[in-house]
Amino acid sequence: MLIRELLPVVKYSDLVDPPDSCAVCLYEFESGDEIRRLTNCRHIFHRTCLDRWMDHDHKTCPLCRTMFVPDDLQDSFNEKLWAASGIGEYYQGDDDDDSLVVHLQDVMEF
Ligand SMILES: [Zn+2]
Ligand SMILES: [Zn+2]
């Protein structure tokens, strides 16, 4: 899900010198189509086509097999995944820490 947020969605009519057709479905683009552009190789596809492609757990361009995002971006993506893996929730549920903080604040004011 998160990787989709890294890939910009644009209107076909906003693109400069775009290809005529989508390499996934082989249909020609139309001016109002929503296009997803890969940040790494700059190939473009229908938003729906690329979303379906990603639903099958592909992480590379359907056309040239380049990774969707550059390696350094991939690292931060992995960190986001790690943060979303439930470790944050564990700390949120820890009430003892909160009361300790409140207690310390009381002591300092006193
Ligand atoms: Zn398509
Ligand atoms: Zn590509």
Asked which of 20-34, 39-53, 93-107 is least confident by mean pLDDT, the reply is 93-107
Q: What is the DSSP letter of 61?
A: -
pLDDT tens digits, residue range 64-97?
999 887 777 667 777 777 777 765 555 454 555 5
d(CA 16, CA 41): 15
If one counts the domains in the chain, the total is 1
**CATH code: domain of residue 71:** 3.30.40.10
Find the helix or strand (DSSP H, E) in which 36 lies: strand 34-37
Ligand 2 center from residue 42 Cα (angstroms): 6
Ligand 1 center from residue 72 Cα (angstroms): 28
Tell me the mean pLDDT in the region 1-29. 89
Kind of pairing between the strands at 34-37 and 9-11 = antiparallel
> Which ligand is closest in space to the CA of residue 69?
2
| Residue range of the domain that includes 59 | 2-109
Q: Are 39 and 73 in contact (CB under 8 A)?
A: yes
pTM listed for this prediction: 0.65
Asked which of 2-6, 10-14, 30-34, 104-108 is least confident by mean pLDDT, the reply is 104-108
- 43 pLDDT tier (thresholds 50, 70, 90): very high
Ligand 1 center from residue 12 Cα (angstroms): 12
